[in-house]
Amino acid sequence: MLDLLHASDVDRDIAVGFIENLPFNSMYIQLGTDRLTGIEIHHAESGAHKLEGFYVLKYQADEKKGAPAILDFMFVGEPKAHCLDDSTHCFNLQFGGEHSQISIEDSISKGINKWRLCGSLGRGSGLPSEQAAKNMKALIALATKAILYINHGKYDRVVKDDLTAYSKTFSRITNPAKKSDAIRKGAGLYDRILIKPHVLPSNVPSSGEMMAQTERSIHWRRGHFRNQRYGEKLAFSKPVWIAPVLVNRELRAAESELVYPKDYKTAPPSFM
């Protein structure tokens, strides 16, 4: 699913305000066990880290009424030698008023330009500023697609309350030695919500393969987000995700019905 979102396009008429309404004001989105090798977080000393996930925090920039909202993103790279050997990059998007009306793409570009002007572009990554900007654009683009997908709601939610269940068991432990051991065992537990798409087409190629495809007679069309009209007189719009689809698949069926002439091979004549 993550690979499909990475390959998905976002129509330019989708305003960044559509990602403002998060299911939680503070959350961590983990990208599963399969990491995207094409999106990395760089550290000047430890090099490239695979993207593990990202934190999203929503808050008001000012307590005044009508003040713009801020979405803070912190991207976390997968640790290498030990748990502290990771890498993080931060970015934020602004909402409210005219900020919510511009497209997601323009909002990302505006944020990167601001990042560039304040002198923090590439700091700590060991990368030239333009390469750092390209990497950050890929990171924030994936994050906004993930939030769009979460907000569109057409998926199965599986609630896993591992930490809550373990805490109830832990509260009944009275022996100090056992309690200390229980704390150690429960350190890696947390409550989470697994997101699984309802239906996906089978045999979908990887994002790299889809992006490399040209318009052939039979080809995969990448997934994409687009605005869908709804409500009375179609007065409202909301982003929806269109899954990848195999285009011109009927040609494959038609080709299979063709009868091709057989190429008979004859043995050379033999002489007595």
Q: Which amino acid is at 221?
A: R
Is the pLDDT assigned to residue 82 strictly greater than 80?
no
Same domain, 94 and 186: no
The answer to whether 66 and 57 are in contact (CB under 8 A) is no
pTM of the model: 0.75
Same domain, 23 and 123: yes
Is the pLDDT assigned to residue 250 strictly greater than 70?
no
Place 264 in a pLDDT band, splitting at 50, 70 and 90.
Answer: very low
Domain span at 228 = 2-154+198-252
Q: Is 99 contained in some domain?
A: yes
Average pLDDT value for the chain: 77
Residue 212's pLDDT is 58
Residue 268's pLDDT is 44
- Each residue's pLDDT tens digit, 105-125: 999 988 888 877 776 666 667
Same domain, 23 and 83: yes
Instruction: Please state, in angstroms and rounded to a whole number, the distance separating the CA atoms of residues 5 and 31.
Output: 11
Same domain, 178 and 132: no
Q: Is 230 contained in some domain?
A: yes
Same domain, 22 and 144: yes
Q: Is 257 contained in some domain?
A: no
Selection from 4, 3, 245, 5 nearest residue 147 by Cα: 5
Number of structural domains found in the chain:
2
- Each residue's pLDDT tens digit, 170-200: 888 888 888 888 888 887 788 888 887 776 6
CA distances (Å), 100 to each of 66, 95, 106, 107, in order?
A: 13, 5, 11, 9
Same domain, 99 and 224: yes
Same domain, 29 and 146: yes
Same domain, 90 and 209: yes
